[in-house]
Structure 1
Amino acid sequence: MRILELLGICFAALFVLLFAIFFRLRLFMVGGGTIRLQVRVSTMVAGRGWSTGVGQFVGDELRFHRMFSLAFRPKRVLNRTVLVVEERRRPEGPERLTVPAQWCVLRCSNGEAGQIEIAMAESTVTGFSSWLEAAPPGQPGGTSRPVIRPRTIEQ
């Protein structure tokens, strides 16, 4: 009988944990201005190190929250005043196992923070580039600088 009680407690704890994770994601999505994306958090192994999550647009910041985390603080914060997209490409090599084929991988320079790679759906890239270019007049990061270099993607 003790084994069944222990299994029941473990099952209930797992259920509460999963509920908390998805409730947290739902809280981020309620206000709108969110997108699904992946951020490359590690470049130790080629094509690996991608983390799935939700991007939340808040003013001049894109806040990345990991999907399977309980933290309310973002894992990464990208500021549009210093963010420049340098390359746009399709997933290649081992990345194709993690990143969906219809998504684009954007290699960005994030000011002094260095390089960062993010992946998002093709339709989301259009909105993302509009957000980058839509800074208020007079701010750095407005439409006076090139954001995404024109380049066609071969299929």
Structure 2
Amino acid sequence: MEQPLESLRWVFAALVLCAAAVVLAALLRRRVILRRGGAVECHLRFPGAGGRRGAWRIGLCRYGSLGLDWFPAFSIRPRPTAELSRRGLVVSGRRPPEPHEHLPADTTVVLLAWPAGGGGPEAEVAMNDATLTGFLSWVESLPPGTDWDS
């Protein structure tokens, strides 16, 4: 009877060790993303099939000169899950969150569109007011030397 109990302890210890490694990798990933600068916490969702909206996903957005990279909060993937092009990006509106969306109270939902059709599907981002100010500044400014009209 001693033998199966001992092997069960080893299996349990291995599972605990694997879970700890995944949590550590996720925390390390978050730290690396934040350390590179220009990263803020926000929620993202895309319209689903038939115009239905998908679920809100929490993550980190990192501003870049050519676009916005979005990393899900609960992942160990090192690359962004969504890349929103800055070219042609237009803020088509903003609104407070609806009660059924279960977003934090100080959040504003920003509707994004690419009218020229060169950037991707419509999207919605939700962020707090301080983050929203930085995001709108990023949208309205162009990196030095950028000439997208030529």
Q: Which stretches in structure 1 are left out of the alignment for 5+ residues?
A: 142-155
Mapping for residues 68-147 of structure 1, pairs under 5 Å: 68-95=74-101, 97=102, 99-110=103-114, 111-112=116-117, 113-135=120-142, 136=144, 139-140=147-148
Task: Measure how far apart 1:47 and its partner are.
Answer: 6.8
Count of residue pairs the alignment pairs up: 139
Task: Give the TM-score, by structure 1 length.
Answer: 0.80
Q: CA RMSD in A?
A: 2.2
User: 2: CA distance between counterparts of 1:132 and 1:41?
Assistant: 19
Q: 1:11 to 1:74 in 2, by over 3 A?
A: same
Task: Measure how far apart 1:137 and its partner are.
Answer: 6.8
AA paired with 1:115?
A: E
User: 2: CA distance between counterparts of 1:91 and 1:76?
Assistant: 22
Number of the residue aligned with 1:52: 58
- Whether 1:26 aligns to 2:34 is no
Task: Measure how far apart 1:87 and its partner are.
Answer: 1.1
Give the greater-gyration-radius structure (CA): 2
Encode CA deviations 1:103-137: one digit per residue, 9 max, x unaligned.
Answer: 11111103522310111111111111111111147
Q: Secondary structure at the match of 2:136?
A: helix
Residue identity over aligned pairs, in percent, reads 27
Q: Which stretches in structure 2 are left out of the alignment for 5+ residues?
A: 1-5
Task: Measure how far apart 1:93 and its partner are.
Answer: 3.2
Number of the residue aligned with 1:148: none
Q: Secondary structure at the match of 1:70?
A: coil
Runs of 4+ in structure 1 off by over 3 angstroms are 41-48, 136-141
AA paired with 1:25?
A: R
Task: Give the TM-score, by structure 2 length.
Answer: 0.82
User: 2: CA distance between counterparts of 1:60 and 1:109?
Assistant: 16
